[in-house]
Amino acid sequence: MVDYIECNTYQEIDLEAAPVIIPSCGHLLTLSSMDGHMEMSKHYEMTEEGFVKGVISKSEPLSMEGLKACPICRMPLRNINRYNRIVKRGLIDEATKRFILWANARFVPLAARMVNEEERLRGMQVSLDNARHKDEGRYGHPSLPMVSRLHLSGSRDIQLHAIRQLSGLPSRYKPAFDLRFDIDEFLHQVSEEEQPFARVYQMVQNVRRGVGLSSTLGFDGTILQTRNRLLTGTLSIRCDLSILTDFVNLYRGQTPSMTKTHAWLREELLLDLSENRRDCMILARDASDKQQPMLEIEARILFAKFVALERAAAHDSGLVDLLLNQAREELRTAKDVVGRVPSTASMLAEIEDTEKMVRESTFYTTFTNEEKQAVYAAMAQDFRGTGHWYYCVNGHPFTVGECGMPMQTSVCPQCGEPVGGSQHQPVEGVRRAADMDEQFGHMTI
């Protein structure tokens, strides 16, 4: 049978009225049958005769119900130009979902290392190595400019580079510098430019420029996955804050014997963390735009913590009052987000703790609260193919175990929107990611 609409065999059809398509696998199907299987009407405006009139404006990101293949033997249909757009979109969607799984599996160990490093620095004694270690290794930045030894300013990389130049610190900060290097490397790997859809888009743009087309081809950026980039950016800022806080505490707790051995301790420490604060605000705005309230709150908390740290050795004492007011405003905004998104209530204790730091002129090594560690533990279990995949109303993927349909009201772990339901039915706006179930239902990481 080659006509699945009228159930006709090859001998019974008129090839002039019902042309046949022969894919690489050799199975014959009429054009109308294959068009129905490929759901052409969802992607193109079609005439009654089966001709394509135009492309439907856009398809929803990650909406393909699995990769389309021959309905008889499931062989790929990648060599039929008529269905090229549909097949290629499915391939890009599949690559994007694999990217989500890979990125999540890589981020969780980095987050665990960050927790361990915060605890290690928090428990270290005030001490320095006796000798200077000149080999900066894989985390060195020889191209960065030299700065005044104890005037930490400029970009976050320049600040860390300045600390690396000081004697007595290699063994204390080597694990943190190694972690920072790995975070930066991963941050590049999860950037929007490195994701499958963006790379295909750039290749198309290059081809268009090569044939003389100067107009820009637009695309819907919502398909790009930004959560891991935001998470990793937050981790990078937290790592720097931990190093700087420990460094300032070390400087303030110096002993006479340390001062005698390490001349830099006799210099005045000045901090200009304006670039750190700028990075925090960029992160907060980006997280807000991408409906990531937990990360927005954390970015605003980090801003306030940098203010509390900078006050200890501000390069411009006249800015202190202004910075404190900005810090209080950011913490108020963070509280407002908690009020709007109940799922972020676990961040309230950290907000109040930071308010105390700003109010009482104190600061100390940052650490990851139990609620945040629980989130990382949950991420380690998420996206492993043990449940069914769904998207919340904002397009964030999540999984449901057991029977595969929600049994209780819950919220999206990323944005706090309702995702659960009752009687095995999700709330309005939640859609099943059947394609991800099909592709990754038996995948382990």
Segment 200-218 mean pLDDT: 74
Give the residue-averaged pLDDT of 360-381. 63
Q: What is the pLDDT of residue 361?
A: 75
Residue 172 has pLDDT above 70, yes or no: yes
Mean pLDDT of the region 426-439: 50
Q: Give the per-residue pLDDT at 352.
A: 94
Mean pLDDT to the nearest integer, 60-72: 71
Strands (E), 159-283: 270-271
Distance between CA atoms of residues 194 and 213, nearest Å: 24
CB 373 within 8 A of CB 393: no
* Model pLDDT, residue 340: 94
pLDDT band of residue 403 (cuts 50, 70, 90) is very low
Short-list 382, 426, 379, CA closest to 403: 426
Whole-number pLDDT of residue 20: 86
Q: Is residue 242 a contact partner of residue 235, using CB atoms and an 8 Å limit?
A: no
* More confident: 390 or 152: 152
* Res. 293: pLDDT tops 90: yes
Q: What is the pLDDT of residue 30?
A: 83
Segment among 16-25, 231-240, 263-272 with least mean pLDDT: 16-25
Query: Which residue has better confidence, 270 or 399?
Result: 270
Alpha carbon distance 328, 354 (integer Å): 9
pLDDT reading at 230 higher than 60:
yes
Identify the residue with better confidence: 422 or 82: 82
Q: State the Cα–Cα distance between residues 187 and 198, nearest whole angstrom.
A: 16
Per-range mean pLDDT, top range of 189-203, 212-226, 379-393: 189-203
Provide, rounded to the nearest whole percent, the portion of the chain with pLDDT above 90: 33
Which pLDDT value is given to residue 366? 56
Whether 275 shows a pLDDT value over 80: the answer reads yes
And the tokens for 35?
């068009």
Q: Sorting pLDDT into bands at 50, 70 and 90, what band is 405?
A: very low
Q: For the chain, what is the mean pLDDT? A: 79
pLDDT band for position 443 (cuts 50, 70, 90) = very low
> What is the arithmetic mean of pLDDT over 256-270?
90
User: In this structure, are residues 435 and 66 in contact, taking their beta carbons and an 8 Å threshold?
Assistant: yes
pLDDT at 356: 92
pLDDT at 222 (0 to 100): 57
In the chain, what are the domain boundaries? 10-85, 124-190+225-378, 384-440
Give start and end residues of each alpha helix (H) in 142-226.
Answer: 156-164, 170-189, 196-210
Burial of 380 (0-12, 13-18, 19+ CB in 10 A): middle
- The token duo for 139 is 């985390």
pTM summary value = 0.76
Helix (H) / strand (E) element for 55: namely strand 52-55
Which amino acid is it at 205?
Answer: Q
One-letter amino acid of 401: G
Decide if 229 contacts 192 (C-beta within 8 A): yes
Q: How confident is the model at residue 31 (pLDDT cuts 50, 70, 90)?
A: confident
Query: Which of 81-85, 147-151, 166-170, 300-304 holds the top average pLDDT?
Result: 300-304
Instruction: Give the model's confidence band at 217: pLDDT under 50 very low, under 70 low, under 90 confident, else very high.
Output: low
| Mean pLDDT score, 245-269 | 91
* pLDDT band of 27, cuts 50, 70, 90: confident
